[in-house]
Amino acid sequence: MDKSQSLPAVHLSVADLEDLESLLEDRITDSSSEVILCFPGGMERRYSSVDEVDGEMLDELDGVTSYALVVHGGEGKCTITGESRGSESHMLYCEGNKSWTNDVQIEINKHLHSIQTTESRLRGQLTRLKVTALAIFAALFVGWALPSIAPQALVHYFPTLLDASIFVVGIFGLLILRFRNWVHPYVWVGSCQTHPTKPRILYLVGGAIVVTAVILIMRHLTGPGPLLR
C-alpha cells in the first residue's frame, strides 16, 4: 500500500537528519539508505548515509533548501522529501502494509513537531494561495499609504511620523512575503539548526525604513514644507 503525508515546515541539522534516518532504519530490516541534497545552482549530491554529509560544505553554502531521504528494506520503502522554492512542501511517502506505514507516519510526524520552532510554524502558514492573498492585501495597503508621503504636484498635506510608520509597515510586509525563503526557508538543512532568521528580518526592517526615507526626502526636495510635520 502506498501512502503520502504532508509534514510540517522545519529546519534540520545534520544531527536531526541522522535521527530521522535512524528512526526509519529501526523500523525496516535489512535497510539501506540514500540521502540527496540539492545545492544552489542545481548541483545535486548523493550519499549512502547521513554520516557522509559534509557539514563544513553546508556551512559554506548557507545550508540547502531541498533534500530527500530514502530508506528501504524488508518492510517497504520510505521517502522524505522537502523543498522550499517552488512547491514549498515537506512530504513523507511510504510503500508497505497499512499498519507499518501508519506507525512510520506517526513517529516521523511526532519527531518533526518536537523539533519545529515557532518561526517554522509561522513560516508553514505562508505558502501558495495564502501568500498570494497577503501580498495583494499588502500591495493595496502600500498603495493606500503612499500618497501621504510621496511627492505631489500640489501640496495640501504634510506627512507625519505616523504616516511614515504606516508606510514602513506596509513595505516591510511586502518585503517579508517576497523574500520569505531568504528570511526563513520552508525546509532547510544545515550543519546545525541555527538559521539567521532574526538578523534577516532586521535587514528588511532597515530596507523598509530606507525606502520610506528616500521617498520623504524626494518629496521634501521637490516641494515646500517640512520633511515630517
Of residues 40, 123, 124, 32, the one with CA closest to residue 72 = 32
Other residues' Cβ atoms within 10 Å of the Cβ of residue 42: 6
Amino acid identity at 112: L
Q: Which of 115-119, 128-132, 161-165, 207-211 has the lowest mean pLDDT?
A: 128-132
Specify the pLDDT at position 19.
Answer: 93
- Residue 158 is predicted with a pLDDT of 84
Q: Is 127 left (phi over 0), alpha (psi -120 to 50) or beta?
A: beta
**In this predicted model, what pLDDT tens digit does every residue of 106-139 receive, in sequence order?**
999 999 999 999 999 999 999 888 999 999 999 9
Question: What pLDDT, on a 0 to 100 scale, did the predictor assign at position 42?
Answer: 77
How high is the mean pLDDT of the chain?
90
pLDDT band at 154 (very low <50, low <70, confident <90, very high): low
